[in-house]
Structure 1
Amino acid sequence: MRSTCCRKGRLGRMMGCLQLVLGGLVVIVSTLSLFKFYSAGFFLNDADICRHFYGMKDVNDFDINALSARVGEVLNQMDNLQLKLESVVQKMEKNKDLGKTNIPKSEYKKFLEEEVIRPLYSAHIGLRQIRLPKVEGIRNSTVKEEPLINSFVIEEIRKYITPKENKNGKVNIYGTERIHNTIGHSCVLMKKELEEYMGYDIGSYCKDDWTLAQKLMINGCDPLPRRRCLTRASKLYKKPYPINESLWKLPDGGNVLWKNYQCRNFECLSSKNPKRGYSKCTGCFEMEKEKLKWVVNTNLPVDFTIKDVLAIKPGEIRIGLDFGIGTGTFAARMREQNVTIISTALNLGAPFSETIALRGLVPLYMTLNQRLPFFDNTMDLIHTSGVYGRLD
């Protein structure tokens, strides 16, 4: 009986200490928020706010709605954290009443890390990333923001599309003072998806979100912004085959991340499997069938062999583009003839781009929604199979 009372007492003291610590952290974050907003003049009278924000030089470039959205995001995070804490405390009190006091320390640690520390850290970062106007009389400099920047809340996107000033501060040889990154209107229309794609911790591992990335690209948000996170590699990764073997040998399945596909190995991708997860490029993961493409005449008027194509301009075809659905077989055939081919590939149901790379070829991760990143009159050859589109 005495042992049970002691355990209940220890649990009560532990919960009391936890509530005190969390309460202190919330008070600190709230105090920092109030101090930051007070220094910006948010607690002045209405007339003073107008003079404070709109009566000074260069303040019209600041979007107050973007600041309001950022503040609302931080407050929502704090509210969600409070609700989680209250529900967990109620659950623990219920377990205590039922005599369930032997709760492992690992559960406390997991709860603190996932449900408390991470949300609190996220709210802290959101607070630090709030951009307040810098106006004369309060600070020594001014700030100007592009209208598109204020459409987003995630700071990584805002940093990406913020124009970068030239190092010397002068106009460069191209007649501009800054460099602009490319984010089109399609990205604004898919704001929720793009913020989910860019919502990560800098320097941590990237999310395994190929499907989301390709959804953005296919709907016109292309090219995607760069990310400052680390891409995970397969834990079963093995050294690739030498180039003289890899061109016509199926790669090792351990070198591919299969999480986002219906199949979990290359054997499953066989053309004999009706549930392989994709419908195009029948047999493209079967090297014996791929070896016959563009080498054997098929008696179709639209098909040409590699020999026929190279005979059009002997010795002049050196570089080209292969746009279509496949695993790089056309590029492999051309490589045997010392012709460099860049292949475009999206992983629509199967690891097409990984297969191309593991064969020792170059996959271009891009759609036709944007102008392809090549100068005019640089391609000797453009090949397409299974896809009909306009190449600019």
Structure 2
Amino acid sequence: MEKSKLTLVDKKFLEDHIVSPLHSANVALRQIQVSKIEEGLNSTKEDPLINFFITEEIRKYITPKENRVGKINLYGVDKVYNTIGHACVLHKKELEKYMDYDIGSYCDDDWNLAQKLMLNGCDPLPRRRCLTRASKEYQKPHPINESLWTLPDRRNVRWGNYQCRNFECLSSKNPKRGYSKCTGCFEMDKEKVKWVSNSTSILPVDFLINDVLAIKQGEVRIGLDYGIGTGTFAARMREQNVTIVSTALNLGAPFSEIIALRGLVPLYVTLNQRLPFFDNTMDLVHTTGFMDGWIDLLLLDFILYDWDRILRPGGLLWIDRFFCSKKDLDNYMFMFLQLRYKKHKWVISPKSKDEVYVSALLEKPPRAI
């Protein structure tokens, strides 16, 4: 028994203190790149950003990677530039902490640091060469016929960076749930009535999915849900044979995890980022609960043009319960209407004494030029 214990200890020691460091050193040596001196010049070409950072892993990441044997690759370029967000230089200390790890070993459980960097403009983040940790008690997810409307097993989430430690704690009744946006999103009984209920309690700004799809019968097949939530819009659209990708950030709760565990597709992006879809490809862009009257008009302008870029001709932009102060309404109305989309639905409803809701269903023109 003692011999068995000793063997396990020895194996762990070898793994942590000999094998892993040797592997890291071996990989590092293989990837050392010496700057090439151009003929006729006494200077080397080097990205000035490389020497800004001290951490070697960042320097290796942003160094251009030349193709082997000097050939042009399938993308038509002779080297690959790994990119990082320009604001990374403003968060040098945090980024160097994020990139300080042992190659081939386990990453720290620091997704919250990564998200903070992303939200502050260090986006995209550099890739890392460490292994992501999973929950120690990970269970098989529910089958697809159950997962859409069943809370996942709490053991499938790493809760260390959240205020709550289970899904029940995320209830809207708990004032210490750790998040404020999308209150009630983790309560499936409340989620089930969204976009499908004919209840008289819903506001005129609450459009129903069936009514929207009827406007473009059979034409809405794929789309983007740009907001914050647990994937319910995508779940309802899936029941209509429409594939929706849902943007998700973990703003105090495991939004990305629950979307994936429900059998849906989370897209982990911030407002800072150009959407990773090609031009004229989406049938629908739906947005709710994320961008409200706090958003800068110039930022909104760039976002709207990006949505316009990915929407196909005849595609639908569904603005769902956008709210702002009454005094700002004209400015936001101009922003939404400037692209000359066809109005299918346009509703303004009071939210409070000083605020209003705006919901709209707009169709992108053909622009066949």
TM-score strictly above 0.5: yes
Correspondence 1:1-392 to 2 at 5 A = 144-171=45-72, 176-297=77-198, 298-388=201-291, 389=300, 390-391=303-304, 392=306
Amino acid at match of 1:378: T
Residues 1:206 and 1:308: Cα distance change in structure 2 (over 3 Å): same
Q: Percent identity?
A: 76
Equivalence for 1:18 = none
| Residue identity opposite 1:301 in structure 2 | P
**Whole-angstrom CA distance in 2 between matches of 1:245 and 1:381:** 26
How far the C-alpha of 1:130 sits from its partner, in A, is 8.7
Partner SS for 2:87: helix
Letter in 2 for 1:380: D
Worse-superposed segment, 300-309 or 334-343: 300-309
Partner of 1:323, secondary structure, is: strand
For residues 343-364 of structure 1, give each alpha carbon's deviation from its aligned partner in whole angstroms, at most 9, with x where no partner exists.
1111111111000000000111
1:12-69 deviation digits (Å, cap 9, x = unpaired): xxxxxxxxxxxxxxxxxxxxxxxxxxxxxxxxxxxxxxxxxxxxxxxxxxxxxxxxxx
SS at match of 2:130: coil
Tell me, in whole angstroms, the C-alpha distance in 1 between the residues paired with 2:105 and 2:206: 48
Pair 1:350–1:174, CA change in 2 (3 A):
closer
1:27 matched residue in structure 2:
none
Shift in Å at residue 149 of structure 1? 1.2
CA distance, structure 2, for counterparts of residue 335 and residue 353 of structure 1: 18
Offset at 1:142? 8.9
Q: How far has the Cα of 1:145 moved from its partner?
A: 2.3
Change (3 A) 1:135 1:385: closer
Contact 1:318 1:380 in 2 (8 A): yes
- Report the Cα distance in structure 2 between the residues aligned to 1:306 and 1:237, rounded to whole angstroms: 34
* Structure 1 residue matching 2:186: 3-state secondary structure: coil
Distance change in 2, residues 1:157/1:285 (3 Å): same
Larger radius of gyration: 1
The residue identity in structure 1 corresponding to 2:54 is V
User: Secondary structure at the residue paired with 1:254?
Assistant: helix
| Paired residue secondary structure (1:196) | helix
What's 1:80 paired with? none
Once the two structures are TM-superposed, the CA of residue 135 in structure 1 deviates from its matched residue by 6.7
Q: SS in structure 2 opposite 1:223?
A: coil
**Cα 1:290/1:151, change in 2 over 3 Å:** same
Other structure's SS at 2:266 match: strand
Q: CA deviation at 1:176?
A: 3.2
SS in 2 for 1:320: strand
Question: Would you say the 8 A contact 1:133–1:142 is kept in 2?
Answer: no
User: What is the CA-CA distance between 1:177 and the residue it aligns to?
Assistant: 2.2
Answer with 160-169 or 202-211: which moved more.
Answer: 160-169
Conserved in 1, the CA contact under 8 Å of 2:85 and 2:125?
no
Distance, in Å, in 2 between the alignment partners of 1:325 and 1:175 is 38
TM-score (ref. length: structure 2): 0.67
Q: Which runs of 5+ in 1 are unaligned?
A: 1-105
Q: Output the CA distance in 2 between the equivalents of 1:240 and 1:130.
A: 42
Q: Return the offset for 1:202.
A: 0.9
Aligned length, in residue pairs? 271
**1:183 and 1:221 in contact (8 A); partners too:** yes
Residue 201 of structure 1: how far off its partner (Å): 0.7
Give, in angstroms, the shift of residue 368 of structure 1: 1.8
Contact 1:317 1:380 in 2 (8 A): yes
Q: Which moved more, 1:173-182 or 1:350-359?
A: 173-182
Give, in angstroms, the shift of residue 167 of structure 1. Answer: 3.7
Distance in 2 (alpha carbons) for counterparts of 1:299 and 1:262: 32
Please state whether the residue corresponding to 1:383 is helix, strand or coil. Answer: strand
Cα offset, 1:178, TM superposition? 1.5
Task: Say if 2:231 and 2:259, in contact at 8 Å, map to a contact too.
Answer: yes
Residue by residue over 1:193-231, the C-alpha shift from the partner in whole angstroms, topping out at 9 and shown as x without a partner, is 111111111111111012111111101111212111111
The Cα shift of 1:175 comes to 5.3
The separation in 2 between residues aligned to 1:377 and 1:363, in whole angstroms, is 21
Show CA shifts across 1:324-355 (max 9, x none).
11000000001111111011111111111000
Aligned-residue CA RMSD in angstroms? 2.9
Which structure carries more helix by proportion? 1
Q: Detail structure 1 runs of 4+ shifted over 4 Å in the superposition.
A: 127-136, 171-175
